[in-house]
Amino acid sequence: MANAAFAASDKQPPPAGAFHGAPPEFTRFSPAELQQGFLALAFGSDLRIGAKPRSIRRFDRPIVARILPGGSTDRSAAMTGIIEEYAAKVPNLHLTVTTAATPEADIEIRLIDEKNFKPALRATFGDAVTKEFVARTDPQCMTSVKSTAEGAILRSISFIIVDKGDRIFLDCAYHELLHAFGLSNHDQRNPWTTLNQRRLVGYLTVYDRTLLTALYDPRISPGMTVGQVRGALPAVFSDLGFKSEKR
Ligand SMILES: [Zn+2]
């Protein structure tokens, strides 16, 4: 039986700047393909202990990101470039990068070597959460998102490994930023998103960019339920150029 959910088309080579061997990019999707990914990735989180959140989480204010340089390979400039790419391609994030040492950044990105990854998690989240998280997801990099009961994100912290080559760095950087903005979950069956942990992607795909643009559309707000989001998404995707059509 044909599966209509796997009808993405207009395959393109990966963009300039992608690592050698990066997967190709699909650029056209049906609204159903986008909605399926949005619902899977915007609700729930691997790190969350207990019940899955049943509502949208995202920032409801302009986002300031701050990079904490570190590790044996200097990736600060590359990380800044990736944040600037998100800012340019998803204007509704109202995203800027600061180098100021103020503690008020909304997203903090800590660049570290792999050997310091688990110690850094323990120092930030404590032994119990680190142990459970590592056992559950065997992470290479990770992001913690703190939000209000109403769904507004207060602060995100991402750990990005810099000393294991370009592929790991790029995959982690693009992947963890999606988490930091509110796409908290993974979907190992979705063949298009960077948030499938079986894939190494390392660039901002049309698919993920579209989901993130939808998350920050004014018609989607923190605290919305699955039912409310289902009702709002078709118009959002249609306005982004993804309409239902006969193939
Ligand atoms: Zn992840």
**Which amino acid belongs to residue 173?**
A
Specify which residues 63 forms β-bridges with. Answer: 95
3-class DSSP state for residue 138?
Answer: coil
Could you tell me if 26 and 10 are in contact, meaning their C-beta atoms sit under 8 angstroms apart? Answer: yes
Supply the pLDDT for residue 56.
95
pLDDT digits (tens, 9 = 90+) for 11-31: 899 998 899 999 999 999 999
Taking the centre of ligand 1 as the mean of its atom positions, its distance from the CA of residue 27, in whole angstroms, is 22
CA 99 to chain centre: 22
Taking the centre of ligand 1 as the mean of its atom positions, its distance from the CA of residue 47, in whole angstroms, is 9
Beta-strand runs (E) in the chain: 9-12, 25-28, 63-68, 95-98, 107-112, 142-147, 153-161
Could you tell me if 73 and 163 are in contact, meaning their C-beta atoms sit under 8 angstroms apart? Answer: yes
Taking the centre of ligand 1 as the mean of its atom positions, its distance from the CA of residue 179, in whole angstroms, is 7
Q: pTM above 0.75?
A: yes
pLDDT digits (tens, 9 = 90+) for 89-146: 999 999 999 877 766 799 999 999 999 999 988 988 889 888 887 777 767 888 989 9
pLDDT digits (tens, 9 = 90+) for 208-222: 999 999 999 999 999
Supply the pLDDT for residue 234.
96
**Angle at Cα 161 formed by Cα 84 and Cα 66, nearest 5°?**
40
Given its phi and psi angles, is residue 170 left (phi above 0), alpha (psi -120 to 50 degrees) or beta?
alpha
Taking the centre of ligand 1 as the mean of its atom positions, its distance from the CA of residue 156, in whole angstroms, is 13
Taking the centre of ligand 1 as the mean of its atom positions, its distance from the CA of residue 172, in whole angstroms, is 8
Taking the centre of ligand 1 as the mean of its atom positions, its distance from the CA of residue 93, in whole angstroms, is 20
Taking the centre of ligand 1 as the mean of its atom positions, its distance from the CA of residue 13, in whole angstroms, is 24
Specify which residues 129 forms β-bridges with. Answer: none
Taking the centre of ligand 1 as the mean of its atom positions, its distance from the CA of residue 139, in whole angstroms, is 7
Supply the pLDDT for residue 5.
46
